[in-house]
Amino acid sequence: MNKEKAVLELKSQLKGLKYVALDMDGTIYKGSTLFPFTVGFLCDLKKMGIRYSFLTNNPTKSADDYLLKLKSMGISATTDEIYTSSMATIDYLRLYRPDIKRLFILGTPGMIGEFEAAGFLSARDDAADKPDGVIVAFDTTLTYSRLCRAAWWIANGLPYIATNPDKICPTDRQVVLVDCGSFCAALEKATGRTPDVVIGKPAPRMIDGIMQRYGLKPHEIAMVGDRIYTDIVMAKNTGALSVLVLTGETKAEDVETGDVRPDVMVNDLTGFGKMLMEERYATTQGGGDN
């Protein structure tokens, strides 16, 4: 594809955009500090009639927990605007595995509560309480007994789903936060099995969940994030517009030397907002011939 054609296709996709999926840490905030441009960007999306949600691979907090965190930073959001890997897992089970009702979950109490609120039953750490399937997540309350029970059910061939592939969770503390992918690696050594399905980024299922929820098509969605190997790859895997911001992990030189190129690369959300506004303004004002 020549450069001129690529530019025209990008402009067309920007004009038709209906939904923006936003990574959180490194994209709208850093640690516990909100970027100064985030609120303005969200206001611009609303003015343009573009819906959005905040996506995260981290399932340790419930939607309500994330809403409280955002509120403490000055962002007013609704439950519909939060989409975690645990919520995407619930959507996946409802859509593709309606036969699974009782779950043994390696997850925090908050996450288990979300599954129970969604109508699933939580199996006890008891060989007599056989589940229909096993969910493994980033469990900061993990106990050895429950890890061993999960391994038992996995070794016995029960359906096995992981919420996210991350080996570690980023932190500014002097500690390594062992994440879901590392739990799965330990379980693979113990049982010889890998997850039947991995839900979180870069797998396409979080974007699939958004499309199912809102009746959208891939080209109507933009995935915005600071990581190539999760955010951008997920967008590529679904056909959504991939937008890389340089406010987090990835630097411009990483893109130059890497194998995966985003459709759009901007310094921060301000740059992407400006692109959207320009295309919407050109469309409404009849300036699209310039």
Write a three-state SS string for the chain.
CCHHHHHHHHHHHHHCCCEEEEECECCCEECCEECCCHHHHHHHHHHCCCEEEEEECCCCCCHHHHHHHHHHHCCCCCHHHEEEHHHHHHHHHHHHCCCCCEEEEECCHHHHHHHHHCCCEECCCCCCCCCCEEEECCCCCCCHHHHHHHHHHHHCCCCEEECCCCCEECCCCCCCEECHHHHHHHHHHHHCCCCCEECCCCCCHHHHHHHHHHCCCHHHEEEEECCHHHHHHHHHHHCCEEEEECCCCCCHHHHHHCCCCCCEEECCHHHHHHHHHHHHHHHHCCCCCC
Does pLDDT of 171 surpass 80? Answer: no
Burial 182-197 (b: 16+ CB within 10 A, else e): bbbeebeeebebebeb
pLDDT at residue 206, rounded to an integer: 92
132 CB-near residues (< 8 Å, 6+ apart): 99, 100, 101, 102, 103, 158, 159
276 CB-near residues (< 8 Å, 6+ apart): 14, 17, 44, 45, 48, 50
pLDDT at residue 231, rounded to an integer: 95
Does pLDDT of 287 surpass 70? Answer: no
Decide if 248 contacts 26 (C-beta within 8 A): yes
Confidence of residue 290 (pLDDT cuts 50, 70, 90): very low
Percent of the chain with pLDDT over 90: 80
Between 176 and 134, name the one with better pLDDT.
Answer: 134
- Of 64-68, 130-134, 147-151, give the lowest mean pLDDT range: 64-68
- Of 123-137, 164-178, 180-194, give the lowest mean pLDDT range: 164-178
pLDDT digits (tens, 9 = 90+) for 86-111: 999 999 999 999 999 999 999 999 99
Q: Which of 142, 236, 150, 146 is nearest to 187 (CA)?
A: 150
pLDDT digits (tens, 9 = 90+) for 27-60: 999 888 899 999 999 999 999 999 999 999 999 9
The separation between CA 8 and the C-alpha centre of its own chain, rounded to angstroms, equals: 29
pTM of the predicted protein model: 0.85
pLDDT at residue 8, rounded to an integer: 84
Average pLDDT over every residue of 2-15: 85
CA–CA gap between residue 286 and residue 245 (Å, rounded): 29
Please identify which residue in the block is written with the tokens 């937008």: 243
Confidence of residue 190 (pLDDT cuts 50, 70, 90): very high
Q: What is the mean pLDDT of the chain?
A: 92
Domains defined along the chain, listed by start:
3-56+219-284 (3.40.50.1000), 87-198 (3.40.50.1000)
Question: Tokens representing 144?
Answer: 């050895």
